[in-house]
Chain A
Amino acid sequence: MSLVVSHANLSIEGRAILDDVSFALAPGRLNALIGPNGAGKSTLLRVILGFEPAARARIEFEGQDFLALPRRTRARIAALVEQSATTDQPLAVHDAVMLGRLPHQDGWGAAHDNDDERIVADALSRVGMEPFATRRFPTLSGGEQQRVHIARALAQQPRLLLLDEPTNHLDLSAQIAVMEILRALADTGMTILVTMHDLNLTAAWFDTVIALDRGRVVAEGAPKAVIDAGFLARVYGVPATIFTNPASGRPMISYGPGTNSVAGQIEI
């Protein structure tokens, strides 16, 4: 286990946003954080990174007390991809990714420029965006912008990568592109935690699912073990029929009219 979150608590104005959240993640796996809106998913990412001063939590990464590390050291270890962060500035894609070198640069940043260029080029190639290096960020599609954000995070050379709903607002092929990138990154041994809304995408791609509801961890395990009809009714309040994909053995969820909280059968 590389990331260990112990007893994460956060209350705002007397309301518990996170209520004693504890879990551990292994490197090299795709870990999803699911739960309805307001369950505390994004907040938990911010707590892990130390962005919520009011939170009480112990975050251990690779055996170190992560939150005790200096700010810039943390930014060299952990990177964050927010959902649809954008800008109106005519910033070139190459420069947007170069921002990821900031925590590695001294005040002037001149000394490592060549290394930085190599790392940025590598990050762009890992997300398939090298042909776009000179394009201006605001002219990209949502999916392309998201890939640039991932490249920027990779330029930080992180060992812990947190993503907040990276597939939101993306069309289907862009969603799959993002998932393929994340799969490849997990295979390099990175520790990856992703908040997800789309449960079918989650079930199809992730190794581990952690479910939050009203600030508490309510289920944890492989998608097959967590996502069932009872879980959907309990946590999301939605009747759903769960099938099993005969090819992958992973759950497939149908929420449409005519569904009720049962396991379905697929006729082949």
Chain B
Amino acid sequence: MVAAPLGLSALAPAALRRMRGRAALAGLSALLVVSIVVAVTIGPAQISAGEVWTVIAHKLGLVADSPVSRLREGIVWELRLPRVLAAAAVGAGLAICGAVMQALTRNPLADPYLLGVSSGAAVGAVSMLLLGATLLLPVGAFLGALAAMALTLGLARAMGAITASRAILAGLAVSALASALTSLLIFWTATGDSYREILSWLMGSLAGTRWTDAALGWAALALIGGPLLTSGRVLDGFVFGDTAARALGIAVDRTRWLMLGGTALLTGVLVAISGAIGFVGLILPHAVRLVCGGRNRDVLPLAALAGAVFMIWADTAARTLFDPRELPVGIVTAMLGAPAFFWVLMRNRRAT
């Protein structure tokens, strides 16, 4: 066996892939910036991309005077931009959570929504809302998410070894219970249009998003999503199972506990912002894997960017398709995500 030339041939694809990975990262980043600006232009009031740039530059103090009227400036800065940015944070965060959960549980169907974590978070968030503790909304959502995750994984384990389909079945049960609780809590206490409010928690909605929501989303993304994003190398160590991970020197239990806790925390904050939006965490990581392969190091940042772009456009569709009525954005993601879910199921027949 001649090692040297063959060794080089193994090097070349690695370098090639690194280049392709960087190109994909740069391309998606550019697409995200363009999506943010274009999505802000879309809506009942016609606003040009130039005006959007001007408002942003003016607000950031880059230009002194703005020729854009105060009304139009208000539409861009107070209504649309925070909503688009919140959508981006929610999409990126959900995609990260999905990818991390899929890697840690070796379950291609893992996703905050399908495992009941999002629904659990919604119960927690609504409880805080009803108690009048609006500031504790994300805390309640986190506790709800954590409880739901523990319940789902506990139920799945009680059925035997945790397989993908057992986890999904357990998630289904937890999700049904949590959704019923959310509905009950709102119905019990609300006076007016409770159906609408129930729907926005169960299906997810970004209607009425303010800067505080966007800031909360981006802060959570930076503080929790950031560390998760850089953990791809360790996540890759789980690819052949727990024992293999242990043999590579990974502290398996501590790592899994910490990282699943991180996804519950992030999911909780995101659900507090937008309600339980389904399928984003499921489909984006899979879509990215189709293109760039299975390494979590590559998948995580690309899935985050793709999730942000996806969510921006899903929400833009939700608020404009039936203008002036708003569609809960979860309906859009489910319309796209459910067929993709089915496709993942078929692809992983053996595993489930």
Contact = CB atoms under 8 A, between A and B. Distances in A.
A100 B248 contact: yes
A49 B242 CA distance: 14
Interface residues of A, number: 46
A89 B297 CA distance: 13
B294 A125 contact: no
Interface stretch (A59-67, A69-77, A232-240): A69-77
Contact of A95 (B234, B236, B246, B250): B236
Given A117-B11, A130-B6, A134-B13, A74 B249 contact: yes
Contacts of B246: 49, 51
Contact of A121 (B10, B243, B244, B351): B10
Contact of A130 (B7, B106, B293, B294): B7
A96 B248 contact: no
Contacts of A195: none
A80 B249 CA distance: 11
A134 B17 CA distance: 10
Contact of B14 (A71, A85, A94, A100): A94
A17 interface: no
Given A80-B244, A95-B293, A89 B239 contact: yes
B103 to A, nearest CB: 8
Contact of A90 (B9, B244, B247, B293): B293
Contact of A46 (B236, B240, B243, B351): B243
Given A51-B243, A89-B239, A96-B239, A120 B10 contact: yes
A86 B3 CA distance: 27
A85 B238 CA distance: 11
Contact of A87 (B14, B106, B249, B293): B106
A88 B348 contact: yes
Task: Say which size band chain B's interface belongs to.
Answer: 35 or more
A102 B294 contact: no
Nearest to A100: B248
Contacts of A262: none
SS class of chain A's interface: helix, strand, loop or mixed?
Answer: helix
B233 A109 contact: yes
A174 interface: no
Contacts of A263: none
Contacts of A95: 236, 293-295
A105 interface: yes
Given A88-B351, A89-B289, A99 B294 contact: no
Contacts of A94: 10, 13-14
B7 A121 contact: yes
B251 interface: yes
Interface string A91-124: 1101110011011010101000000011011101
Given A90-B294, A92-B13, 20 more contacts: A46-B243, A72-B249, A76-B249, A82-B241, A90-B289, A90-B290, A92-B293, A95-B294, A95-B295, A96-B239, A102-B234, A103-B249, A124-B6, A125-B3, A128-B1, A130-B3, A130-B9, A133-B13, A136-B294, A156-B248
26 contacts: A71-B250, A71-B251, A72-B249, A74-B249, A75-B248, A76-B249, A79-B247, A82-B244, A87-B106, A89-B294, A90-B290, A90-B294, A91-B236, A91-B294, A94-B10, A95-B295, A102-B233, A102-B234, A121-B8, A121-B10, A121-B11, A125-B6, A125-B7, A128-B1, A130-B1, A131-B6
Interface of A: 46, 49, 51, 71-76, 78-80, 82, 85-92, 94-96, 99-100, 102-103, 105, 107, 109, 117-118, 120-122, 124-125, 128, 130-131, 133-134, 136, 149, 156
